[in-house]
Amino acid sequence: QKEVEQNSGPLSVPEGAIASLNCTYSDRGSQSFFWYRQYSGKSPELIMSIYSNGDKEDGRFTAQLNKASQYVSLLIRDSQPSDSATYLCAVPPAGTALIFGKGTTLSVSS
């Protein structure tokens, strides 16, 4: 069974710090990787996608992918209270739809 694993948290960081979120996946055939943010009572919202090994930066967000280790991470620099949410890692196993991890809850304190 294809799986996507995340630490459930909560992950607590002070305002201005770096938050590091991690995800592992089981299907070596996966070719694309996504991070979604979900505020309480809202729907998941795409914030980052990554397709190649290495880092991809977008503003305060950096996604890191290591296919050999089947590991993808999300770094949030200069964390803000508005970043407090649940972050979902999503990976499509080869030939099928997005499978989501259970999410990591991030709390940023001011």
For other proteins, give the closer residue by CB, 17 or 56: 56
How is 37-88 classified by DSSP, letter by letter? EE-TTS--EEEEEE-SSEEEEETTEEEEEETTTTEEEEEESS--GGG-EEEE
For other proteins, give the closer residue by CB, 17 or 61: 61
Give the one residue of 10, 12, 18, 32 binding other proteins; rule: CB under 8 A: 32
CB of 55 to other proteins, least distance (A): 19
Give the one residue of 40, 68, 95, 110 binding other proteins; rule: CB under 8 A: 95
